Amino acid sequence: MFMVARSVAALLVGVAFLMLANGALSTAIGLRMSAGSAGAVSVGLITAAYYAGLTAGSLFASRIITRVGHIRAFAAFASVVSVAALAHGLLAAAPLWAVLRLTQGFCMAGLYMCIESWLNGTATNETRGQLLSLYMVTLYGASAAGQQLLRLDDRTGVLLFMIVSMLLTLALVPVALTRNTPPLLPNVASFGLRRLYRSSPLGVAGVFISGAITGSIYGLAPVFGASSGFGVSGTALFMTMLILGGMVLQWPLGRLSDRFDRRSVIIGLSAGLALGSAAMVGTAGLDSRAPLLLVAPLFGGLAFTLYPVCLAHTNDHVGREDLVSASGGLILSNSVGAILGPPLASAVMGAAGPAGLFAFTGAGALSATVYGLWRTRMRPPLPAEAQAAFRALPQTTPTVSPLDPLGPLRAQ
């Protein structure tokens, strides 16, 4: 593992800087909008703009990378993201911030593509699993740690944006100085969603609902914290607990899905997430925050595990030659859910109060549960031994799909 980490250390340091900054910025936007005259609906639309940019970047940023090369493209994307982060300090206006987040989403997709294609180019069949694990831990760990940067903010409201901009600029340094040869972008042309749905209806529906839920959590959980009187420190701790729960629980729950019919595990996950959402609603009304903070990691773990289990379920039903393209299609389906979810969740919060966020996640999880139960009546289960081993993939861009060690091995 040490030798594998050493071979991609520069890239992982760059990823850590990016996620420290992006994690802090996403939460800061919710806190700032809540403190001003804007409400949850404005934050939901700003969050949707970010995911719209991320989706557009997943589709089109590869053209820029192909034209100018990985290092130049990475430098350009990181520079624009850095400037856009700093520009948030100019004026706290929802329309401006929506444009800035749209731009950042596009550029973040380009940055993910550069990094993930570089990891793919470095990986061998023997090291893919280790590289994927290192990448996942860096993504989630740095994003969770980035929440604590909120404690450094000052009364002017500019310091945090300056820190975020500095971190985004620092992400350039290890990548610009790397001596590794830039790779070619992998071919990640995705399935059409209609064809993908025919192959795995529950998988497509599950990742769509997962996108709506996780997109809403990232964008609106800070609004919940601010509206519930947590303050900056309390909201930062709350977000950290949610994200760390998502990182820790993916592996054990994913391994459980290897031993049983994955549809049953998806149904159980969704039902558990619905119950977890109800527990979040219940503990949100208590005077003490301790029960909420105890439930938060479990809630986050269930919410963030739904996507990789649905992805694994879909991979069980597509041909070996189509694993990469199917994963790319699922990421795009997840992104569409992440665009639509935050505005809908913010509308529920506007009608039902801050805890309406968890009413929304509970409704989404319940719909996945009901749909999963219906699907069990429509198709017989795969034997457990016929299922592929679980691999947790991040919800970034389709370029990450070839990093799954099962994809290249199966395609031989």
pLDDT digits (tens, 9 = 90+) for 70-128: 888 889 999 999 999 999 988 888 899 999 999 999 999 999 988 888 877 776 766 77
Q: Report which of 307, 411, 284, 290 is spatially closest to residue 354, judged by C-alpha positions.
A: 284
The band of 354, judged by pLDDT with boundaries at 50, 70 and 90, is very high
List the one residue out of 122, 355, 378, 186 whose CA is nearest residue 263.
378
| For residues 169-187, average pLDDT | 75
**pLDDT score for 125:** 64
pLDDT at 180: 67
Provide the pLDDT confidence category of residue 392 given band limits of 50, 70 and 90: low
- The pLDDT assigned to 411 comes to 38
- Average pLDDT for 240-262: 84
Q: Where are the alpha helices (DSSP H) in 88-151?
A: 94-122, 128-146
Q: Which CATH class is domain 1-179?
A: mainly alpha
Q: What is d(CA 287, CA 196) in angstroms, rounded to the nearest whole number?
A: 47
Out of 16-25, 149-158, 189-198, 272-281, least confident range: 189-198
Separation of CA 226 from chain center? 22
Residue 360 has pLDDT above 90, yes or no: yes
Integer angstrom CA distances of residue 26 from 216, 258, 348? 11, 34, 20
The reply to whether the predicted model has a pTM over 0.85 is yes
Q: What is the mean pLDDT of residues 302-325?
A: 78
Contact status, residue 359 vs residue 352, Cβ threshold 8 Å: yes
pLDDT, tens only, 199-241: 889 989 999 999 999 999 999 999 999 888 898 999 999 999 9
319 vs 265, which has greater pLDDT? 265
What local confidence, expressed as pLDDT, does residue 332 receive? 84
Is a pLDDT exceeding 90 seen at residue 380? no
- Closest to 104 in 3D by CA, of 146, 46, 155: 46
Rounded CA separation 60/103 (Å):
13
Give the CATH number of domain 192-392; options: 1.20.1250.20, 1.10.3720.10, 3.30.360.10, 3.40.50.720. Answer: 1.20.1250.20
Note the pLDDT of residue 65: 86
**How far apart, in Å, do the first and last CA atoms of the chain sit?**
25
Place 190 in a pLDDT band, splitting at 50, 70 and 90. low
SS3 90: coil
- pLDDT of res. 320: 61
d(CA 208, CA 338): 8
Domain boundaries, the chain: 1-179, 192-392
| Fold matches, 1-179 and 192-392 | yes
pLDDT (0 to 100) of residue 325:
66
Residue 60's nearest CA partner among 198, 185, 208 is 185
Q: How far apart are CA 205 and CA 196, in angstroms?
A: 11
Q: Take residue 126 and report the two structure tokens written for it.
A: 């023997």
pLDDT of residue 412: 37
**pLDDT band per the 50, 70, 90 thresholds, residue 410:** very low
CA distance 384 to 76: 46
